[in-house]
């Protein structure tokens, strides 16, 4: 995939997110996620789990404090679209996110915007999880 400079910047940001999230580095995640962040995850039973910024940061904090093993950083970036200060990324990850001893395939749809400080941030995330 030939990437424009903007797409490469978003790809680098996305890999930084994967690394920080997989290793529960809460201080970095606080800047990666926008304050108005929300995630909706479609679970295998067709239910939806949603979290806002505070709930998401709390989840990563709890995992860090509990000493949960890092998640796999394996990731395939399927699509990157950048238009001005907005970006859209589709990324597929395979990892044991829910801690059941079995890897799940999760397709993430990330919506990013460039903050006032000229940094990318995730403001919406939709995910589909399957076993």
Domain parsing of the chain, residue ranges: 5-130
Locate 107 and state its tokens. Answer: 């397709």
Q: Rounded to whole angstroms, how far apart are CA atoms 87 and 112?
A: 5
Task: Specify the CATH class of 5-130 in words.
Answer: alpha beta
Locate 80 and state its tokens. Answer: 């990157």
User: Residue 44 pLDDT > 70, yes or no?
Assistant: yes
Q: Mean pLDDT, to the nearest integer, of 85-105?
A: 90
Q: Which of 81, 110, 114 is nearest to 14 (CA)?
A: 110
Mean pLDDT of the chain: 95
Instruction: Give this prediction's pTM.
Output: 0.93
97 — pLDDT class (breaks 50, 70, 90): confident
Locate 70 and state its tokens. Answer: 């890092």
User: Residue 131 pLDDT > 80, yes or no?
Assistant: no
Q: Mean pLDDT, to the nearest integer, of 111-131?
A: 93
User: Residue 100 pLDDT > 80, yes or no?
Assistant: no
Percent of the chain with pLDDT over 90: 85
Q: Rounded to whole angstroms, how far apart are CA atoms 115 and 50?
A: 23
Q: What local confidence, expressed as pLDDT, does residue 96 receive?
A: 86
């Amino acid at each position: 995939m030939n990437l424009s400079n903007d797409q490469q910047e978003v790809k680098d940001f996305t890999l930084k997110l994967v690394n920080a999230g997989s290793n529960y580095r809460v201080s970095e995640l606080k800047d990666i996620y926008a304050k108005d962040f929300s995630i909706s995850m479609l679970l295998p039973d067709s239910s939806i789990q949603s979290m806002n910024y505070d709930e998401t940061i709390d989840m990563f904090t709890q995992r860090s404090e509990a000493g949960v093993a890092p998640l796999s950083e394996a990731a395939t970036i399927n699509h990157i679209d950048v238009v001005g200060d907005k970006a859209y990324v589709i990324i597929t990850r395979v990892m044991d996110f829910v801690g059941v001893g079995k890897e799940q395939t999760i397709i993430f749809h990330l919506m990013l915007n460039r903050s006032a400080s000229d940094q990318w941030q995730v403001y919406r995330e939709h995910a589909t999880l399957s076993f």
